[in-house]
Amino acid sequence: MVRVHQDHVSIVAMIGDVFQRAVGVCVAAAALAVPASVAVAVSLDSMWATVGDPGNAPDDTGYGAVPYVFRISKTEVTIGQYTAFLNAVAASDPYGLYNPNMGSYTHVSGVARSGAPGSYSYSATAPIGSAPLGASSATARPITFVSWFDAARFANWMHNGMGSGDTEDGAYTLNGATGGPAPVRNAGALYSIPTEDEWYKAAYYKGGGTNAGYWEYATQSDTQPDNQIGNLPNQANYFQLGRATVTGLPFLTWNQNYLTDVGAFSGSPSAYGTYDQTGNVLEWNDLNGSSSTLRGLRGGEWDHYVNLDASSRSWGETGWESHTIGFRLARATIDVRTGSVPEVDPAGVPLVVALVVMAMLVRERHRC
């Protein structure tokens, strides 16, 4: 029996429910000669965490109150997902969605670009250096060196059905901008960068009512985590007590990856079932959603021991890109235009199918 592996299911985390609506999991399995039981086991729609308890009280920090139900991706957007995005929309890359550091900054590198403008292609590359289980995937580590505008274009692409989907309108009206004031989220956005309150609630709220309270860390704990990869509770990827998570060494070396696969700390989810909101990479948020040249960052990072707890917050210019910054998306519970879950452009279905097959093959290798 093939079981779902959180580390590798994340490859399709951002696209699962769209694919399920477009072609049906079992239909796709039959067309690809993949056992239907495997396709059903993937349960792609479950790759979004539903954040309920609408109308919850804020934390004593002032953050976390959200008056509606929403969904948020259980994991950060991965190198595999972002590579698929680049191959779909960045043959010329007029908006600078690819940062060369994605291929050369060895601590986090994972995307190589080849070809010339107009015919660029992109591929995921294996992590450099020591690669223990949970930090060994070419595709399942989080993407970094992404600006707020890169994340917004990814959200627009998702909103517009992937494939040949537009990157300039949908969730956000960007009009070619790559820096300066971030626009507000458009009404009816299907996928978006979470507001600070949405991000905070998904990470720290205990759930189960409107006055349940908050954890200090997104691992369902008030105690600072350790950093052991695996299924132990209260673990995260950060430089804990002078010890790097991936290598266990008290120092960083240049030719070494330090990102962990998303969901590698399988025993340390938030109360709503998200992973890595403490550690791995800082994540963009939309602050209170108003237009501004600044956007928020939360969650801590692999190379430090600060910014991990609920009281820690920072921000950056919208065009800023860094080796410690990634993102995850929020998702509307229904498409307000149709009253159903989001639909996909049929042109995007082959891409979705390819990603699903890749995830199944990787999962088969680890589980059989």
Over 146-187, what HEC string results? CCHHHHHHHHHHHHCCCCCCCCCCCCCCCCCCCCCCECCCCC
Tokens of 327: 């993102």
Tokens of 73: 């991706």
**Burial degree of 223 (CB within 10 A; 0-12, 13-18, 19+):** exposed
Element (H, E) at 99: none
Whether residue 312 contacts residue 171, with contact meaning beta carbons closer than 8 Å, is answered with no
Contacts of 160 (CB under 8 A, 6+ apart): 166, 167, 169, 170, 345
Check residue 341 and give its pLDDT.
52
Give the start-to-end residue ranges of the domains of the chain: 46-343
Check residue 77 and give its pLDDT.
97
Q: What is the pTM of this model?
A: 0.83
Check residue 21 and give its pLDDT.
33
List residues bridging with 51 in a β-sheet.
Answer: 70
The C-alpha angle 176, 327, 87, rounded to 5 degrees, equals 55
Check residue 5 and give its pLDDT.
33
DSSP SS3 for 331: strand
Check residue 45 and give its pLDDT.
55
Phi-psi region of 99 (alpha: psi -120 to 50; beta: other; left: phi over 0): beta
Structure-derived torsion over alpha carbons of residues 158, 160, 164, 169, reported in degrees to the nearest 10: -100
Tokens 């992404």 label which residue?
146
First to last CA, the chain: 7
What is d(CA 218, CA 269) in angstroms, rounded to the nearest whole number? 7
Tokens 């266990």 label which residue?
248
Q: How many CA atoms lie within 13 A of 302 on its CB side?
A: 29
The structural architecture, per CATH, of the domain 46-343 is: Alpha-Beta Complex (3.90)
What is d(CA 51, CA 66) in angstroms, rounded to the nearest whole number? 9
What is d(CA 100, CA 217) in angstroms, rounded to the nearest whole number? 33
What is d(CA 84, CA 81) in angstroms, rounded to the nearest whole number? 5
Series of mean pLDDT values for 10-residue runs along the chain (368 residues): 32 37 31 29 63 98 97 97 97 98 97 98 97 96 98 97 94 97 97 98 98 98 97 96 92 95 97 98 97 97 91 96 97 68 44 45 38
**Burial degree of 124 (CB within 10 A; 0-12, 13-18, 19+):** buried
